[in-house]
Amino acid sequence: MDAATELDTLKPMCPGAAIWSEGGQAAAYLPSFRFQTSEGERTMDLLLVPFAHSGYSTRLFFKEVPLQGRVQWTQHMVCGQAWWTRSWNGVPATLPWLQILGAHLRSVP
């Protein structure tokens, strides 16, 4: 998949979306991204890693823990910064980035 084309599909939801590099591969930085949780709408920076990372087929990293106490979150250094994620696997890297993002966001309680 072409990273620039994939990023363009995310820009309607996040106009500031940009390509960042992790391990020589393209990741999508999504600044001030708005998403729903069981406690309401949240806004924070996200990092979509649409390739295998830390034993998972794809990852979605959050700048902060979106919900305390609901699930276990782990911290990782990605793109030179600390990010949070939870255990959610099985979202294939073969999907378009928009679908990868949606699958990961659906996992947020």
pTM of the model: 0.93
Number of neighbouring beta carbons within 10 Å of residue 101 = 25
Q: Structural domain of residue 21, as residue ranges?
A: 3-106
Residue 69 makes CB contacts below 8 A (sequence gap 6+) with none
pLDDT of residue 63: 96
Tens-place pLDDT, residues 59-108 = 999 999 877 666 788 999 999 999 999 888 899 999 999 999 999 999 88
The band of 35, judged by pLDDT with boundaries at 50, 70 and 90, is very high
Q: Based on the structure, what is the number of domains in the chain?
A: 1
The band of 33, judged by pLDDT with boundaries at 50, 70 and 90, is very high
- Rounded Cα gap, residues 90 and 24, in angstroms: 22
